[in-house]
């Protein structure tokens, strides 16, 4: 097998693995392939470049590059003399992971906490209703306990997101690069 072919095959393996795992980011394999392809380009790409490389429509490239940008997996780039929009993959993958976490889970936590607080307030109110039957009150009380539990859970999740966002997670799980392992010991 020829040299460039081997290089291409080694790249394809990585790209396909990314494509098959990008669902963890809520994205579709073709967006993963796009990301993977960009990863191995040493220059930022235009939408037309992507269309050519992937053989897909420019509209598709536009929408999926936007999805990738929303998750901060790719970012805009600039190159002198190029009028088209340019994109490159964000090069700090640790930060990308944290961004994913922030963007996806922060939003979810907030939505849940809003709903829980609202329902909790309603149930607390209901539990003081003098016209309520004994049976109802019992059910309400059980639900209040359940909601308090999940409220605590989502508050924990919120603090977890904080810990990622403010990089404290790296105290517990430090970044280590190969050289740390390889050097004499």
Partner DNA sequence: TTTTTTATACAGTTTTTACTGTACAAACTA
Partner DNA sequence: TAGTTTGTACAGTAAAAACTGTATAAAAAA
**Nearest residue to 30 (alpha-carbon basis) of 73, 61, 72, 7:** 61
Task: Check residue 24 and report its DSSP letter.
Answer: G
Q: Which of 52, 57, 76, 149 binds a copy of itself (CB under 8 A)?
A: 149
Query: Does 77 participate in binding DNA (rule CB under 7 A)?
Result: no
Of 29 and 165, the one with the shorter C-beta distance to DNA is 29
Of 37 and 64, CB closest to DNA: 64
* Residues 20-59 close enough to bind a copy of itself by CB under 8 A: 20-21, 23-24, 26, 39-40, 42
The correct pick among 9, 13, 58, 79 for binding DNA (CB under 7 A) is: 58
Confirm if 54 and 72 have CB atoms less than 8 A apart.
no
Q: How many CB atoms lie within 10 A of CB 115?
A: 13
Residue span binding DNA (CB under 7 A) among the ranges 78-86, 118-126, 127-135, 151-159: 78-86
Site size with DNA, rule: CB under 7 A: 21
Q: E strands within 21-92?
A: 74-77, 86-89
- Binder to a copy of itself among 72, 88, 106, 151 (CB under 8 A)? 151
Q: Is 79 in the site for a copy of itself (CB under 8 A)?
A: no
Q: Which of 58, 148, 166, 167 binds a copy of itself (CB under 8 A)?
A: 148
- Which residues have CB under 8 Å from 94's CB, separation 6+? 170, 175
Place of tokens 């016209």: 131
Residue 143 in the binding site for a copy of itself (CB under 8 A): yes
Longest dimension (CA), the chain: 84
Give the separation between CA 17 and CA 32, rounded to whole angstroms.
9
């Amino acid at each position: 097998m020829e040299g460039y072919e081997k290089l291409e095959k080694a790249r394809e393996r990585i790209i396909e693995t990314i494509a098959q795992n990008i669902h963890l980011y809520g994205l579709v394999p073709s967006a993963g392939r796009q990301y993977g392809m960009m990863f191995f380009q040493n220059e930022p790409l235009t939408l037309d470049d992507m269309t050519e490389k992937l053989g897909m429509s420019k509209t598709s490239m536009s929408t999926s590059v936007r999805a990738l940008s929303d998750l901060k997996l790719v970012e805009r780039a600039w190159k002198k003399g190029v009028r088209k929009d340019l994109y490159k993959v964000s090069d700090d993958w640790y930060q990308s992971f944290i961004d994913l976490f922030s963007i996806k889970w922060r939003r979810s936590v907030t939505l849940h906490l809003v709903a829980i607080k609202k329902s909790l307030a309603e149930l607390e109110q209901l539990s003081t209703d003098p016209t309520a039957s004994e049976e109802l009150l019992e059910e309400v009380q059980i639900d209040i306990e359940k909601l308090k539990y999940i409220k605590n859970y989502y508050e924990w999740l919120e603090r977890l997101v904080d810990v990622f966002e403010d990089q404290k997670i790296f105290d517990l799980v430090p970044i280590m690069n190969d050289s740390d392992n390889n050097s004499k010991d």
